[in-house]
Amino acid sequence: MSEQKEQRLASAVLTGLMVADAALTLASRIGRWVQARKEVGELTPEEEAALDVYLENKFSEWQAKRPTSGPGETLN
């Protein structure tokens, strides 16, 4: 593999890790926010269910948009 391809691959991996870290941080913050609202009674079961559906839909949209690659595939 040429040095340029190695650098591009390393950059793509780093970008992927940064995006994953940001997604996990956001998910954690949302989870803490939901839990805090439940503890003080500011989030009804209906609101919690609606939030779950919303987040599941957003995650599905994100999955549909992200590029996929399998074993043996290369980055262009």
The pLDDT tens digits for 23-65 are 899 889 988 988 888 888 888 889 889 988 998 898 888 888 8
The pLDDT tens digits for 5-34 are 999 999 999 999 999 999 899 889 988 988
Residue 48 contacts residue 38 (beta carbons within 8 Å)? yes
Res. 76 pLDDT band, cuts 50 70 90: very low
Q: Cα 36–20–9 angle (5° rounding)? A: 170
Res. 70 pLDDT band, cuts 50 70 90: low
Instruction: Give the pLDDT score at 69.
Output: 61
pTM score: 0.56
